[in-house]
Structure 1
Amino acid sequence: DFIEGIINLRGSLSTVINLRKRFGFEPKEIDANSRIIIAELEDKPVGMLVDAATEVLRIPVSDIEATPELVTTEISKELLCGVGKVENRLIFLLDLKQVLAKKDLEELKELEERE
């Protein structure tokens, strides 16, 4: 189970998922570098617990390309929706609708309604 809990975000309840658990990575203790990134998914804010976040980027659509066929990452290629080019770096972009399957979204909604 990758649901970490629920937070109060500006007066509204938002579910927090642990991306490390969702992707099946080894557990890691939450520390001072851990962050919750808020993203909107189907018009609802969802928190994603990550190990660290060093910056927030805006990547123009013109700088985003399809995920290359030969990509090798620890994350399944199906969970990626593209690669952003920022200066001399490549940033892999998650497809949040794939990260949280429809069944998962329904469970999150039920959980929030119970709270």
Structure 2
Amino acid sequence: MSVSVLFVDDDAPMLRALKREFSYEYDLSVAYSAAEAQTLISGHRRFDVVISDVTMPGMNELEFIDRAAPQNPHTSFIVLTGNGEEETLKRACSMPAVVRVLTKPASRELILEAIGEAVSRKSLCP
């Protein structure tokens, strides 16, 4: 059975690149906003891993996880950030559903490693 992964980011070119890069390894979906991701994850679709940017219009990443995680206890979340705001990173790592925080640009190998760890639910937050 294939691992289902949802990438969430408002950067369309980055999502296209991620889709090209990872669609052969995973059952991959993308969402261009937290609201779109919320709709996908609240529907009948189950995701093993959600990788989401912190800063997006409308709803920030941590709000999205706050809403989505309780309804999806089987889903592991990976936070992807372009800014290293320490308080946000600490808060993300304190959330039980978050297993990893990655800084942009994250290498293919690092993303693969994070997904593998997320599937096994082994937290790598400091």
Bigger Rg, which one: 1
TM-score normalized by structure 1?
A: 0.21
More strand by share: 1
Greater RCO, 1 or 2 (C-alpha within 8 Å, sep 6+): 2
More helix by share: 2
